[in-house]
Structure 1
Amino acid sequence: MNMKVHGISVGIENYGGDDFVLFIKATGTLTHDDYEYMVPVLEAAIGGVVQPQIFALMDVTEMDGWEARAMWDDLKLGLKHGREFKKIAILGNRGWHEWMARMADWFTPSEVKFFNDRQEAVVWLQE
């Protein structure tokens, strides 16, 4: 049996300081349904925060891409909540992951930076 796992996980991590980091893990080829489940969770997590300044670590090391409709969902999510994110560290291991980070940096008001080392990403988020 060959199972194709895909989805988006959302969590909160703390690295010993006062600030918490929103951790997002993308796996496989993301679908519209993945966003349908994830977006309400994300919105509930940030909904009660007054003037949020979100620091996010997005792990795409196991992400293969998006279906077309899921790309649109991602763009809508960024347009709706982009100003709430202060910094986004994208952790990847492929050339297109780095390209994705550059595109996100151009189209969002947050600081976005690509990393292939998790510790470097966390240090940058904490600066």
Structure 2
Amino acid sequence: MTVLRHGLTIGVERHGKDDFFVVLKVTGTLTHEDYERMVPVLEGAIAGVSDPDIYMLVDATELDGWEARAMWDDLKLGIRHGRHFEKIAVFGRPGWQEWMTKLADWFTPADARFFVDRQDALEWLGD
């Protein structure tokens, strides 16, 4: 029997008064249920902050894709909180993940960049 792993692991750190550093590890094919678990964690962390600045590191090395409904959830998250995201660094496998990051950079106010190396992504976030 094959077990299909999927999901989101999220870590949120507050830096100073309004800055948040979010680390997101994505695995397998993301589902609507994955977003139902992740979004409240993120929203709970920034609740009560009038204008949070979010810096996100996304580990996509084990990401296989999204279900259609999960893509919709991602779009809704971007619409609701997009202005709060300052930088999004994605590291993973070149190809479609890199292309999706470029697409996100064009359509979101956040500065989104793709990296193959985690350390390079962290350094860019810290600039």
CA deviation vs aligned residue, 1:88-124 (integer Å, no higher than 9, x gap):
1011113000001001101110110000101110110
Q: Does 1:80 align with 2:80?
A: yes
| Deviation at residue 49 of structure 1 after TM alignment | 2.6
Q: What residue number does 2:47 align with?
A: 47
Q: What residue number does 2:5 align with?
A: 5
Gaps of 5+ in 1: none
- SS of the residue 2:40 aligns to: helix
Once the two structures are aligned, what percentage of the paired residues are identical?
A: 60
CA deviation vs aligned residue, 1:10-61 (integer Å, no higher than 9, x gap):
10369xx976521011110011111111111111111233311111101111
CA, structure 1 residues 64+109, in 2 after alignment: closer, same or farther (shift >3 Å)?
same
Hey, what's the Cα distance between the residues in 1 that align with 2:48 and 2:116? 32
- SS of the residue 2:37 aligns to: helix
Q: Does 1:109 align with 2:109?
A: yes
Hey, what's the Cα distance between the residues in 1 that align with 2:40 and 2:20? 20
Aligned CA RMSD, in angstroms, stands at: 1.7
Hey, what's the Cα distance between the residues in 1 that align with 2:76 and 2:20? 24
Gaps of 5+ in 2: none
CA, structure 1 residues 126+80, in 2 after alignment: closer, same or farther (shift >3 Å)?
same
- TM-score normalised to the size of structure 2? 0.91
